[in-house]
Amino acid sequence: MKLYDKVIFVDENGTCRAPMAAEIFKDMAAGSGIEACPRGLVVLFPEPLNQKAEAVMASNGFSAQEYMSAPFVLGDVGKNTLVVTMESAQRLKILEMFESIEERQVRVLTELVGEELEIVNPYGGALQVYGLCYETLYTSVKKLVDLIT
């Protein structure tokens, strides 16, 4: 029996780290039966993937042209859902906003997989910074897939 049937990747606005992580997870965990989706904590209106993140994803064989950000809402979370944040501040914000979500369901990606540093937001950085973010996400998500599938 698998522990989770859904993983929600959460970042600040759902236009960079969360969608990259979700796509990497979907690719690596294909056939596992675990749904993966990206969400943002502050999404005032749907936005496409950040252009630099899209370029990095495309260069790694992913297409995110149809992607639009969506807000994290309580209705996304079921009993067997794992919520994965990029930063500890995001984890705390979710636990404060949604008291009915169990603490064990909300984890910081790097802490969960045994890494020390959080996934830094590349926003405003050069394309290479987005590339480094992708590489870090790839490594962390691979560990996550190995851990939960």
Residue 130 dihedral angles phi and psi, to the nearest 5°: -65, -35
Identify the pLDDT of residue 1.
56
Mean pLDDT of the chain: 96
Domains and CATH numbers, the chain: 6-148 (3.40.50.2300)
Cα dihedral: 31, 32, 33, 38 (round 10) = -100
Residue 6 dihedral angles phi and psi, to the nearest 5°: -155, 140
- Name beta bridge partners: 11: 40
Say how far apart CA 9 and CA 80 lie, in whole Å.
Answer: 14
Identify the pLDDT of residue 23.
97
pLDDT beyond 90 at 65 = no
% of the chain with per-residue pLDDT over 70:
99
